[in-house]
Amino acid sequence: MKIKLKLVDEVHQKIVEATEILRGIVHKTPLDKTRTFSMWTGGEVYLKLENLQKTGSFKVRGAYYKIYKLISKGKVKKVVAVSAGNHAQGVAWAASKAKIESIIFMPEFAPAAKISATRGYGAKVILYGRTIDDSYAKAIELAEQEDVEFIHPFNDLDVIAGQGTIGVEILEQLPDAQIVVVPIGGGGLISGIATAIKKRRPDVKVIGVEAKGAASMYESLKLGRIVKLRKVDTIADGIAIKSPGEYTFQLVKELVDDIVTVDDFEISDAMFKLLERAKVVAEPAGAVSAAALLSGKINVKGKKVVAVVSGGNVDASLLATILEKSLMSEGRVIRMIVELPDKPGTLKKVLGVIAEARANILDVAIDRISPQVKPGKALVLITAEVQDPDYVDEVMSSLKKLGYTLSIL
């Protein structure tokens, strides 16, 4: 117990220093009350918008403070890091700000946009390996060979302290907060936030959220020791970590009140609702706190709760897919297959019926040649946007009255 408390005190001292060092360097991000999320959950919900931070995520806080500490200890010309996205951009930006070189190892599958952004912040990017573990091993090898400082994405006390400045800001912006909900990957973010909050307001509950397909901290706490998952499977790539760090495990075990998990459907739904109702662009990892609230995994009725939106660096194609799937799941976009006589004017009649039901036709595809299509018939796949899901019944009823066979996908 003494060892854990000593660790908490050490991190807290660093957070106090980091708060001053980062002042004017990074943004003090907004804490935005959301009326809609409050109504849905029964609590008073605020969003801590780290998606609006420099580089689009909280990672720049820990990266800059770590580099500051290295420079204060002696001459540092270069740092090495490994990341598939946000940590890479944070280190690259921080190193550039400090006028030192950065080398970032990224796996070959890393999104092109994140590779480009990391290079844009001034880093030398080396693509190596198919997994982040491959990249990590190579980065450590280079750091040892060239005697260069390696900046760990989460298992580093300075990095943890930098992230902890978010907790300081939350209590400055909402002194009477009662619950703070934080994403968990490796655990650096929640370790820092929990330390900052519990040292100032031990009565505030700090609750972590992991992706169900990458719940390494949850499993570790359940077994009482650090475990390494055999695989991770989630759209939340920013928190798809197989194993927490030694420091983060100890801090979370000591300070965090609870951990819940959310699945990819719940994450996607939260991303959609954040964008549509709160006008917030969140990456999957950044949306898990909101997902936990919206799915009812955390009871916040009558409480003032802060959900940390940790980042907004979402791939555009993934976001487009999530939006389309969400609209379909809510019945606001429908796809139907209609079997029609392959005769002039028939399709026009069908589209007219759909238009009369105040539906906006988005796409039409016609299949005449597949083996399952009867001779003289055509299968028409129609995608349409409807103002209200009840209109679907109206469309189906009207088309059936005309004698057409149809089904909703």
Query: What φ, ψ does residue 96 adopt, rounded to 5°?
Result: -65, -40
> Known catalytic residue: 59?
yes
Cα 246 to Cα 268: distance, rounded to the nearest angstrom = 31
Structure tokens given for 188:
């650096």
At which residue do the structure tokens 């951009």 appear? 89
At which residue do the structure tokens 């996205």 appear? 85
Cα 221 to Cα 135: distance, rounded to the nearest angstrom = 27
By C-alpha distance, which of 374, 364, 356 is closest to 337?
364
At which residue do the structure tokens 């194993």 appear? 243
At which residue do the structure tokens 């898990």 appear? 288
By C-alpha distance, which of 278, 274, 299 is closest to 205?
299
CA-to-CA separations, 371 to 35, 342, 378, in angstroms, rounded: 53, 15, 11
Residue 275, C-beta contacts closer than 8 angstroms, at least 6 positions apart: 281, 282, 319, 323
Cα 208 to Cα 71: distance, rounded to the nearest angstrom = 32
Cα 390 to Cα 320: distance, rounded to the nearest angstrom = 25
Q: Which residues of 268-283 are buried (b: 16+ CB within 10 A; e: fewer)?
A: bbbbbbbbeebebbbb
Q: Classify residue 50 by its DSSP letter.
A: G
- Catalytic entry in 14, 48, 59, 205: 59
> Known catalytic residue: 4?
no
Q: How far is Cα of residue 335 from the mean position of the Cα atoms in its chain?
A: 29
Cα 92 to Cα 344: distance, rounded to the nearest angstrom = 61
State in Å, rounded, how far the first CA of the chain is from the last one: 57
What's the chain's Rg over C-alpha atoms?
A: 25
Q: How far is Cα of residue 240 from the mean position of the Cα atoms in its chain?
A: 10
Structure tokens given for 311:
């980042």
111 three-state secondary structure:
coil
CA-to-CA separations, 165 to 14, 33, 253, in angstroms, rounded: 10, 20, 20
- Catalytic entry in 135, 243, 289, 310: 310
Residues taking part in catalysis: 59, 310
